[in-house]
Amino acid sequence: MLCKTAYICISLPGALERRAFMKEQFSRLKIPARFFDAIGIRPGSVDRIPGYDSAKRLHRFGYGLTPGEIGCYLSHRAVWRRFLDSDSDVCCVLEDDGVLHGDFSERVADIVMARAHWDFVRLYSLYRRGARPYCVTAGSRQLNWVACSAMSTLGYLLTRSAAEKLLIHTQDMMFTIDEVIDRHWEHGLRLLGDDLSCRIGPAIELGYLVR
């Protein structure tokens, strides 16, 4: 069955160099991505953000979320809503500071073909502690279940049902967006990662993106 995949890149409107860098990659790799204007939060306005209780957050952690973290949180939620308003079956969400591998589209297509096995797949993770094999794609790509916090929203795939669940689960803002995604024991999503481990060098590489 044909599956339609949307590509959305989150980027601040004024991040011209980053946008130019991503546009070059999208053009070269023939990825039909669209930019989403990231939500910027002015310092001093965090207490007026719907869903964010700064006093509750401070009581639990001893420090609040930064304006950047709140903007990131709201931006990803807005992208999920945009995805659900479309006719796409899967969404590939990217941030504007990653380098895409040359066969990025083929890798994404391979994982999408195996979507019966997952709800959310990270294409980049800061941590892979506790990763264990979960399934193998038609292209012999191993997807891993990561029991511990993987962190990062640099690049990921999610289904429509995952977007619906995450929008409900993230209405109240207590954690950063990558932390709340990691809490699979609460939202119940099958949260997987790709089979490529890290390589430390001039840049850090995991999965399909280099930061």
Report the pLDDT value the prediction gives residue 203, as an integer from 0 to 100: 35
Measured N-to-C along each axis, helices 67-85 and 160-169 cross at an angle, to the nearest 10 degrees, of 140
Q: Is the pLDDT of residue 211 over 50?
A: no
Q: Which of 61, 62, 150, 154 is nearest to 99 (CA)?
A: 154
Q: Which of 189, 177, 211, 180 is nearest to 76 (CA)?
A: 177
Specify whether the CB–CB gap between 100 and 124 falls below 8 A. Answer: no
* Coil vs helix vs strand at 36: strand
Q: Is the pLDDT of residue 208 over 70?
A: no
Span 65-81, pLDDT tens digits:
999 999 999 999 999 99
Burial 66-99 (b: 16+ CB within 10 A, else e): ebebbbbbbbbbbbbebbeeeebbbbbbbbbebe
Span 152-187, pLDDT tens digits:
888 999 999 999 999 999 999 999 999 999 999 999
The hierarchical CATH code for the domain 5-116+152-189 is: 3.90.550.50
- Counted residue by residue, the chain has a size of 211
Q: Which of 139, 83, 146 is nearest to 111 (CA)?
A: 139
Q: Which of 119, 135, 142, 120 is nearest to 197 (CA)?
A: 142
Q: Is the pLDDT of residue 150 over 70?
A: no
pTM, rounded to two decimals: 0.89
Q: Is the pLDDT of residue 130 over 80?
A: no
What is the identity of the amino acid at 46?
V
